[in-house]
Chain A
């Protein structure tokens, strides 16, 4: 806050004393504040109308889906008869697929727990706040470090025969390494070179989670065996 006069703080408990300014917060102290010359519009009607339209569009889309596709209802719950395969809801199928490779403590508790903790920590980790493109200002030691990390993760997954993690890790890792030196390339190469480390990590996570979920949904049959999606099988 350069250029501002020094401020004398006077403490007084006398209610009749004229309040004095104790601090002046310069309005631009926060990074995510709008510019003063940005164009503003009235909330009503512009934003309100768009919110109404959004609600209508979502309602119509869901209504069309509800008219065309029926929610499933199988036979009544039978505690003595486990369907084969017994699948969790789709957002847990990635975890269930992971359970196929790792022991339950790892797949069911450790990994989801770490994911939640990692998510919560994102805005407080300095690497996320100051991140520039992955390779900018980083020498050959960083190259070794990144390659080692990629191989470590892939090796850990490979020990457990978890190919759905190994393959995307190596693929994303290869893209990360190939992005090095891409600032001087064409449009796509430049775009890849600009990706920051947190973005690479999140992209890796999204790809791995999607692959696991897709396999769990479409490629798993009785006994959690590998089947092609078009294979029909009965669950009892």
Chain B
């Protein structure tokens, strides 16, 4: 009797009506099926069915936008997991950090992943911006996408800054105090804006809760929406543009 091979098993699986109700395209290695993999999937169909081969090379864009997006995914996953053990109140927040680091299994690892992912994301976003600039990939028709990108950079910095306060240790508290004091220097709107941001005159429980909501809800939603617009516009503008010689 023939031992069932992996290929035979997966072939049988693909023939079942349940599988075919979920995945509607065939498995033969045809360009039609390859197109359908992209077209019939909600998440994948932001891609065009074909891409320019040049754009796949590492040196074309150094994949910096992709690195930033990968960091975003990792930060969302680790951030949500960390939320299961964190109360945004004083002094519970600090005690939760201790609990995460010393009591919860893999708490230290996930917190570290979150922190270094955040640093990498800020750095990669800057590097991506510089790459686009030096390749002059902001020229028409890509102008507005550059502006969307600048807003995304500000959102990234905002996410990093709001998250910085959440551990409620000396580093967090005074780092944010210094930053919000800089805001005060703005004429007319500085002080009111700082009052709104902190929910008061000083960095306190109110500030922690506001930063928590900004960090976990407002800014992530903004990021997702704007990243979607950003990637959609790249697609509509003909794909990523690499070195200027690439442009006819």
Q: Check whether chain A touches chain B (CB < 8 angstroms).
A: yes
Nearest to A131 among chain B residues (CB) is B136
Report the separation of the CA atoms of residues A66 and B111 in the bound assembly, to the nearest whole angstrom. 8
> Is there contact, CB below 8 Å, between A77 and B168?
yes
Q: Tell me if A86 and B50 are in contact (CB < 8 A).
A: no
| Bound form: Cα–Cα A136–B184 in Å | 45
Could you tell me which residues of chain B, from 24 to 81, have a CB within 8 Å of some CB in chain A?
Answer: 31, 34-35, 37-38, 44, 47-54, 56, 63, 66-67, 70-71, 73-74
Q: CB of A22 within 8 A of chain B?
A: no
Instruction: Judge whether B186 and A50 touch: CB under 8 Å.
Output: no
| A70 CA to B110 CA, complexed, in Å | 10
Tell me the complex Cα distance, A40–B143, Å: 25
A41, A44, A79 pick with most chain B CB within 10 angstroms: A44
In the complex, which residue of chain A has the Cβ closest to the Cβ of B164?
Answer: A89
- Residues in chain B near residue A198, CB distance under 8 A: 133
Contact of B113 among A63, A81, A96, A109 (CB under 8 A): A63
With known contacts A32-B241, A71-B111, A42–B31 Cβ distance under 8 A: yes
Query: Separation in Å of the A111 CB from the closest CB of chain B?
Result: 11
In the complex, number of A-B residue pairs with CB atoms less than 8 Å apart: 219
Q: Does B177 contact A (CB under 8 A)?
A: yes
Shortest Cβ distance from residue B161 to the other chain A in the assembled complex, whole angstroms: 7
Of chain A, the residue at the smallest CB distance from B184 is: A104
Which of the 9-residue segments B3-11, B14-22, B114-122, B217-225 touches chain A?
B114-122
Inter-chain CA distance A39–B185, complex, in Å, is 54
- CB <8 Å contact, A88 and B175: yes
Q: Could you write out 6 A-B pairs with CB less than 8 Å apart?
A: A43-B50, A46-B56, A54-B66, A77-B168, A92-B179, A109-B186
CB distance from B240 to the nearest CB of A (A): 10
Q: How far is the CB of B108 from chain A (nearest CB, A)?
A: 7
Chain A residues near B133: list those with CB within 8 A: 122, 198, 202
Chain A contributes a number of interface residues (CB within 8 A of B) equal to 71
Determine if B140 and A77 form an interchain contact, defined as CB atoms under 8 angstroms apart.
no
| Total count of chain B residues near the partner, CB < 8 A | 90
CA gap between A31 and B186 in the complex, in Å? 41
Asked whether, in the complex, the Cβ of A66 is within 8 Å of the Cβ of B116, the reply is: yes
**Residue interface mask B154-175, A partner, CB < 8 A = 1:** 1001001100100111111111
A62 close to chain B: CB less than 8 A: yes
Would A46 and B113 count as touching, CB distance under 8 A?
Answer: no
Are B47 and A47 in contact, with the CB atoms below 8 A? yes
Least CB distance, B190 to chain A, in whole angstroms: 7
B146 at interface by CB-CB < 8 Å: yes
Contact B101 A73 (CB under 8 A): yes
Instruction: Provide the bound-state CA to CA distance between A50 and B55, in Å.
Output: 11
Contact of A109 among B50, B179, B185, B237 (CB under 8 A): B185
B70 and A55 within 8 A (CB): yes
Given contacts A31-B140, A73-B97, A73-B171, 17 further A-B pairs with CB under 8 A are A34-B239, A40-B53, A42-B34, A42-B50, A43-B51, A44-B37, A47-B56, A50-B56, A62-B74, A62-B117, A66-B116, A76-B94, A95-B182, A123-B142, A128-B136, A129-B139, A202-B133
Partner of A43, one of B49, B94, B130, B167: B49
B140 touching A30, Cβ below 8 Å: yes
B183 within 8 A of A: yes
A65 contacts the other chain (CB 8 A) = yes
Interface SS of chain A: helix
Tell whether, in the assembled complex, residue B175 and residue A89 are in contact, meaning their CB atoms are under 8 Å apart.
yes
User: Would you give the shortest CB distance from B70 to chain A, in whole angstroms?
Assistant: 4
Query: B38 near A43 (CB under 8 angstroms)?
Result: yes
* Min CB–CB distance A172 → chain B (angstroms): 15
Docked CA distance A62–B168 (Å): 24
Please judge, given known A-B contacts A42-B50, A120-B147, A129-B140, whether A74 and B183 are in contact too, CB under 8 Å.
Answer: no
Chain A residues 23 to 56 lying within 8 A of chain B, measured CB to CB, are 30-35, 38-48, 50-51, 54-55
Q: Which residues of B contact A124 (CB under 8 A)?
A: 143
Which residues of B sit under 8 angstroms from A103, Cβ to Cβ? 185
Is there a chain A Cβ closer than 8 Å to B229's Cβ?
A: no
B134 contacts the other chain (CB 8 A)? yes
Contacts of A38 in B (CB 8 A): 52-54
Interface assignment of B91: CB less than 8 Å from any CB of chain A: yes
- Say yes or no for A7: interface residue by CB 8 A criterion: no
Q: How far is the CA of A128 from the CA of B66 in the complex (A)?
A: 26
Contact B183 A70 (CB under 8 A): no
